[in-house]
Amino acid sequence: MLRIPKLINKALLVAFAALLVPSLSNAILALEGGTFSVQGGALFPDKMGTVTIGDGSSKTLEFNTGYVGSIGMGLKSGPIRYEGEFNFLYSKVKTSKLSGTAYILNAMYNMYYDFESVGIDLIPYLGGGAGYAYVNPSIKDTTAASGTSDKLFTKGIHTGAFQAKVGLNYLMSETVSWTLGYRYFRTLELSKLNNKPFLVHQVALGVIWYLG
């Protein structure tokens, strides 16, 4: 027969002992020093307005789900992280009767706030940043008549950009964590690309190293 009071006492002792041991999340929040991160994931571009093509019809310029890769280096001071980040974004044109791709190279300056986590080694964070983007579209009209240019958008564009981030860091040790996050990324309006901003939603998984 189970002795319920003894089991309860043991459970209370274990819980009390756990409270006496600093959690891994608290150790990370108090960390001071450098950080290095690598991430990769999927991006979901927004629609880019309409274009008129060679057969006289109007088409909504859309892109397929693409991919993103990121490298970041920064400095952590308590719950605040400062970061310089380099990203590569790539997607293919989805619109029928059009073909081509677009890629973006950008350099961003970001700031993050890591929230305290109690009892588990998951740390939520919020972040945002601004910087420079180089947008390079290569989009062709497959209905263009013979002898006419089939190139709709082909020139590289230099512009500003900003982003907002939210996600979770899962702590594997005092020096490494997995990170999973959502990012809203947007350039300024692009005069050479339908006078629309390049806007994408991103989901990425990666690793952060805390260099101390």
Report the pLDDT value the prediction gives residue 181, as an integer from 0 to 100. Answer: 96
- 191 burial type by CB count under 10 A (0-12 exposed, 13-18 middle, 19+ buried): exposed
Is residue 29 predicted with pLDDT exceeding 70?
A: no
Q: Above 90 in pLDDT, residue 152? A: no
Mean pLDDT of 74-80: 91
Q: Report d(CA 197, CA 187) in Å as an integer.
A: 5
Query: Is the pLDDT score of 117 beyond 50?
Result: yes
Check whether 1 has a pLDDT greater than 50. no
The C-alpha atoms of residue 64 and residue 6 are separated, in whole angstroms, by 61
Report the CATH fold assignment for 23-210: Porin (2.40.160)
Contact 198, 187 (CB under 8 A): yes
Q: Could you tell me which of 41, 36, 100 has the C-alpha nearest to residue 65?
A: 41
Q: What is the pLDDT of residue 19?
A: 45
pLDDT band at 107 (very low <50, low <70, confident <90, very high): very high
At 21 the pLDDT is 44
Query: Would you state the structure tokens that stand for residue 60, as one six-digit string?
Result: 């909504």
For range 135-154, the mean pLDDT = 77
Say whether pLDDT at 14 is over 70.
no
| Helical ranges in the chain per DSSP H | 4-20, 24-29
Residue 164 has pLDDT above 90, yes or no: yes
Of 18 and 109, the structure prediction assigns the larger pLDDT to 109
User: Which pLDDT belongs to residue 146?
Assistant: 61
Across 66-70, 84-88, 115-119, 154-158, least confident range: 115-119
Farthest CA pair distance, the chain: 92
The pLDDT score that the predictor gives to residue 156 is 87
Task: Give the start-to-end residue ranges of the domains of the chain.
Answer: 23-210
Q: What's the pTM?
A: 0.81
